[in-house]
Amino acid sequence: MKAVIIYDDFACAARAKANLKRVAQLAGEPTQNILELCLLELLNQTAFATQMMGEAADAHLIVITLSQPESLPARLLDWLEGWAVFRQIQDAALAVFVGERSDALSMPVLHELSQFTERHGLDLIFDSPTPMLPDFPDERTRESYRHWGINE
């Protein structure tokens, strides 16, 4: 399995890399030469972005680590679109790891990534326990939805 980690924060990338190595070991996959790191800023350089797209063409997994997961940079989306067209692994997946300061992806990011993966036939994996959902505004509103379960 080959994975490419695109990161905006090295600490996030290091955690993602360690997690992927641990998963590969548990699955009995060789862990040598499976991970490539790419600093998100470097995708602004056309020559580098093109080179990275070529290197990622045979990746089974593209991992994006975001320290601030409120929005996706346009340059990242452009690169992902290009990679999706030229990829060689048809059952590839896109994974998103968020930084320590956030426990979930924002709904706009989750929606944008869901549309992208659906459009290109990719699986979407994220490390957040759950997507961010709106909270009920107060206790009274929360109580008004009590006993609406299917088993009650």
Taken in order of first residue, the domains within the chain and their CATH numbers are 3-144 (3.40.50)
**So what's the pLDDT on residue 134?**
47
**So what's the pLDDT on residue 132?**
47
> Do the beta carbons of residue 68 and residue 102 sit within 8 Å?
yes
> Do the beta carbons of residue 95 and residue 135 sit within 8 Å?
no
DSSP secondary structure letter of residue 132: -
> Do the beta carbons of residue 42 and residue 48 sit within 8 Å?
yes
**If DSSP codes are grouped into helix, strand and coil, which group holds residue 124?**
strand
Cα 122 from Cα 61, distance rounded (Å): 10
**So what's the pLDDT on residue 40?**
92
**So what's the pLDDT on residue 29?**
75
Q: 69 is written with which tokens?
A: 């997961």
Torsions phi, psi for 97 (to 5 deg): -110, 135
Cα 4 from Cα 15, distance rounded (Å): 14
Nearest to 57 by CA among 2, 110, 16: 2
**So what's the pLDDT on residue 24?**
80
Q: Are strands 123-126 and 61-66 parallel, antiparallel or unpaired?
A: unpaired
Cα 115 from Cα 109, distance rounded (Å): 10
Each residue's pLDDT, cut to its tens digit, for the chain (152 residues) gives 889 999 988 988 888 888 888 888 888 876 555 678 899 999 999 999 999 999 999 999 999 988 877 788 899 999 999 999 999 999 999 998 887 655 567 788 888 999 999 999 999 987 755 454 444 455 555 455 455 555 55
**So what's the pLDDT on residue 121?**
94
